[in-house]
Structure 1
Amino acid sequence: MSAPELERLPEGLVAPVDDGACDHLPGWRLPALSLPATEGPPVDLSALPGLTVLYAYPRTGQPDQPLPTDWDLIPGARGCTPQSCAFRDHHAELQTAGTRVFGLSTQDTAYQAEAAGRLHLPFPLLSDAELRFAGALNLPTFEVDGMTLLRRVTLIIWDGVIQKVFYPIFPPDQNAAQVLAWLAESNPAPAVS
């Protein structure tokens, strides 16, 4: 698969359905776990002050490498590169809205670093290769070709607590715009009593 083919969504993809797998997440305090990052030291999302956007995705493809078996037939699997590119393209707006951005997948940091460099991502990708973060939050996953991959979900976090969950996400290239619209309409900081 060529790089341009990875950056666009093919016609006829099957949209994922809301199976309730993320209904438990709003209000959840993140676990204190450090995750390897493609730039800088490991990141403990629970310790970050203010607003954080974390988009979890199955895996980015690599140019000239085949996609996993029946990838386009798995609801919600295809579109990791377009989703990452959309967060890249909206990054300045997200920063203006006062938030930091991270991507999260189960690929190791070296695999993610290739994608981050090739796609010119201005934010780090975090590796949950051991599924510690996914397991602690009970994030939805699926299996393909012997890999355990995250289903696509985006979390809006304030001071380590999940305020908003986007799940399911389709089409993935619109997710960053959905996050920006929600931030513009909402006051994601919890009320102080």
Structure 2
Amino acid sequence: MSKDFPLPDDLPEPEDDGAADHLPGMEMVDVSLESTDGATVNLQELPPRTVIYVYPLTGRPDKDVIPEGWEDVPGARGCTPESRGFRSHYDKLRNNGVGEVFGLSTQSSEYQREARDRLDLPFEMLSDAEWELASELDLPTFTIEGDEYLKRLTLVVSDGRIEHIFYPIFPPDEHASEVLEWVRENPR
């Protein structure tokens, strides 16, 4: 659990609304996104078995960016603990056949870079600030205070296709363990 952003015990659990049912088996779209290391990553050219965890919004201890009512939206809260989980499991994922791990949100690369550095993440974050990937894949979203956010989900991409999805995700701080378990049970 994160000391900066602890998850409350009564966090509302998201339900599977079917909004990601169309994703497994889809070809990954020809979209290039900016990475926190300044590179551009073409999503059709990912390493074999890439894990992309999609999250709505990373908070910051020095800024109040979390909208009012955030904790009441099922699945919204927990981006920092989820990222820390992937940090803790990164080497195990890589040792079990995952070519790369990326976090992805619609926040700017500059904003994400602060989070990557502060959280000491061993992987890069991808910015879909222009909503290109979200639109092309018709990713599930939610709206709060008039702003739209991506719902939390994880894509496992292999050979240019979405091999598997995790949706909905709960609790977010334990999700990386769930992905690692799936990777171990489904070797390439």
**Alignment TM class, shorter chain as reference:** over 0.9
**TM-score with structure 1 setting the length:** 0.92
**How far does the alpha carbon of each residue in 1:20-49 deviate from its partner, in whole angstroms, 9 at most, with x for none?**
000000000111111000014111121123
The match for 1:41 is 39
> In the comparison of the two structures, how many residue pairs are matched?
185
1:155 alignment partner, SS class: strand
Q: Which has the higher mean CA deviation after the structures are superposed, 39-48 or 173-182?
A: 39-48
Task: Spell out the pairing of 1:128-167 with structure 2 (5 A cutoff).
Answer: 128-167=128-167
**TM-score with structure 2 setting the length:** 0.94
The match for 1:90 is 89
CA RMSD of aligned residues (A): 1.2
* Seq. identity, %: 51
Q: Which runs of 5+ in 1 are unaligned?
A: none
**How far does the alpha carbon of each residue in 1:152-182 deviate from its partner, in whole angstroms, 9 at most, with x for none?**
0001110120111100000001111001100
Distance 1:61 1:157 in 2: 27
2:183 alignment partner, SS class: helix
The match for 1:168 is 168
| Matched letter for residue 69 of structure 1 | E
2:4 alignment partner, SS class: helix
Distance 2:113 2:147 in 1: 19
| Matched letter for residue 157 of structure 2 | I
Q: Which runs of 5+ in 2 are unaligned?
A: none
Check conservation: 2:13, 2:75, Cα contact below 8 A.
yes
1:4 alignment partner, SS class: coil
- Shift in Å at residue 138 of structure 1? 0.4
